[in-house]
Every structure is written in C-alpha cells, then in structure tokens.
Amino acid sequence: MHMRVVFMGSAEFACPSIDALIVRPDVNLLAVVTQPEREKGRGRKCARSPVHEHVIGLGLPVLTPERVSSPDFVAELKELHVDLIVVVAYGQILRSNVIELPAKGCVNVHASLLPKYRGAAPIQWAIANGEHTTGVTTMFIVEQLDAGDMIMQAEMRIEDDDTAGLLLGRLAGLGARLLVESLDGIMAGAVSRVRQIDSDATYAARLKKEDGRIDWTMGARRIYDRVRGFNPWPMCWCEAGTGSGHLLRILKVAVEQDDGAGSSACGQILSAEGAGPVVKTGAGAVRLIEVQPEGSRPMDGASYLRGHRLAVGDVLK
C-alpha cells in the first residue's frame, strides 16, 4: 500500500520527521507546505523557513501559502488527492476545510506529553517551569488547539543542564521515530485513538522577548530554569546596572548560596570575583557563568568581570 502524503512544517523541529517520510518506500510525498519567506535579523532580509532550506535539492514541490486554509489553496490541495496530511511545527492553525480533506485525516507531532503544554512553545515552558520529564505525542488534528485524539506518546527525561535548544534536537529525533510508528498503525488500520482529558490541559503560550526579562524576586532555581528554557530564544536578559540603559543577556547561570545576605536587595551583586558575578534572588543567589553584553559577543562571567566595572552592591534590573 502506498499512501499519498502532504507534509506541513516550518521549524527545525520538523526536519527529522520529513527525513523519516522521504526514505519510506510506502509513502508518496506529494508536496511540502511551509511558511513563506519572512524578514529576519537586524538586516531584515527575507529568509526561507528551516524546512524549506532542508528540502532544497530533493526535487519535492514546495508550497508557501500565506493562509493554508484559504479557498484557493484548499482547491490546490484537493487536486493532489491526499490520503494523509502530516503536520510538524508548521506555524499555522488548520481549519475544517483542510482537516476534513484527506481520507485518513491529519496527524500532528507535538513536543509534549499532551494534554500538558498545548500550544506554541512546549519545550521552552517545560524547562522554564522546572519539569523533569517531557516527551512527544502524535495525534489526529481537530480545530481546537492541540486537543485531538492521541495516537502514541513517548517520554524523555529533561537533564539538569538542558537548554531548549539541546532538548529540541533530541525531541525532534524522538518525534520522527514516533511518527513512523504511528504511520505503521494507520496503514495497518490498527490505531487506537485516546481522547484527551481537557480538564488536565495546560498551555505553553508563544514566547515574547519580554518573557526573557529576569525578575530577580524569583527564587534562584526558578531563574536557573528560565535561563535554560529561554535559550536560544528569547534569551534571559536584564539591565546591566541601575540606570545604565544597557542590556545584558544571561546565557548560563549556576545556583549559589547567598551566604546570609538576607538584607540585600533582589538583583544586588553579592560578589564580583571568581567565575562570574553572584546576584541576590528572592531565594538564594545565582552566579552569572556566561553572558552577552549588548553589542558584544558572548563571554564567560570571569571575562565579563575583567572588562566591566561591576562592584558589590550594584543592582541589576
């Protein structure tokens, strides 16, 4: 049996899944649907999506609709006589006119153990919230966000030094393997659909730059988790000294004891020596192990201390 498949994906997370489909002799990959070129970076140059870049040279038709559920594009999809649509980190919400098109439905690979962390940024928020376990779910798509019947799930441990970037790579590989197993079940007509319990659902909202601003009244462990979860984007950041107007990206921290500095203000520098400055938090302290001053390159905390005037008692905002 050959299955006629359209793949919809844009982000890096989707690349291993499309690779898994390409090598299957029983999958006829009709087209890749991805986000149109967008302006990126300081130069605001137009750039293709990671999936678009990934499939260049493979001879696959690449479609880039502004709105995937527009009548014109749905008509184009109908002409392909699709059996199944696979959606992985695409970036657009499918409406009923697309969902109901393929005979065997639309399958999504989502980077969480649903119904926890429905939404756009499940990897980042799982780390930022201090979770120890996450995973991947395959499901049939419905119009409600990430609420369809589940096909399969697989767990993965979140290591204590994982960043969102590191964990994304491992989950992407796990997602591709789970997609293959799910397709095997769909082709064999042996899929068990498991309904999600909506009352157990939590949500992982799309990240904004402001989410990265450090609130020094949070505890040291919570700040540590947010620094990991928001790396590589939006990155945690603060103002490098009261009234300085200069931003400081915080790339890596370590949890430290505050040595009884109970009277110090949150954000106050407790130590300005060694491997990096130690900053008072709402519970404990953190040492800034790796930072990036505004307009400069990333550097370790010790180098930052050598090149910048920072003294005990200064306050980061």
Helix (H, G, I), strand (E, B) or coil at 250: strand
CA distance 210 to 301: 23
* pLDDT tens digits for range 225-247: 999 999 999 999 999 876 566 89
Look at the pTM and tell me if it is higher than 0.85: yes
* pLDDT tens digits for range 263-317: 789 999 999 999 999 999 999 999 999 999 999 999 999 999 999 888 999 999 8
Tokens coding 291: 């930072």
Span 141-153, average pLDDT:
98
pLDDT of residue 41: 67
pLDDT of residue 243: 55
* pLDDT tens digits for range 8-64: 999 999 999 999 999 999 999 999 999 999 877 666 788 999 999 999 999 999 999
Beta bridge partners of 250: 236, 291
pLDDT of residue 42: 67
pLDDT of residue 40: 76
**Residue 51 carries which side chain, given as an amino acid letter?**
V
- What domains can you pick out in the chain, each with its CATH number? 3-204 (3.40.50.170), 210-307 (3.10.25.10)
* pLDDT tens digits for range 53-100: 999 999 999 999 999 999 999 999 999 999 999 999 999 999 999 999
With CA atoms as reference, report the closest residue to 182 among 191, 173, 174.
191
**DSSP state, residue 171:** H
Return the H-helix or E-strand segment holding 115: none
Span 144-160, average pLDDT:
98
pLDDT of residue 257: 84
How far lies 291's CA from each of 170, 221, 237, 253, 257, in Å? Answer: 25, 18, 9, 9, 20
**Residue 221 carries which side chain, given as an amino acid letter?**
R
Beta bridge partners of 315: 268
Query: Which of 158-167, 236-245, 248-257, 287-296 has the weakest average pLDDT?
Result: 236-245
Residues 6+ apart with CB under 8 A from 154: 135, 136, 174, 177, 178
Residue 261 — pLDDT band, cuts 50, 70, 90? low
Residues in the chain: 317
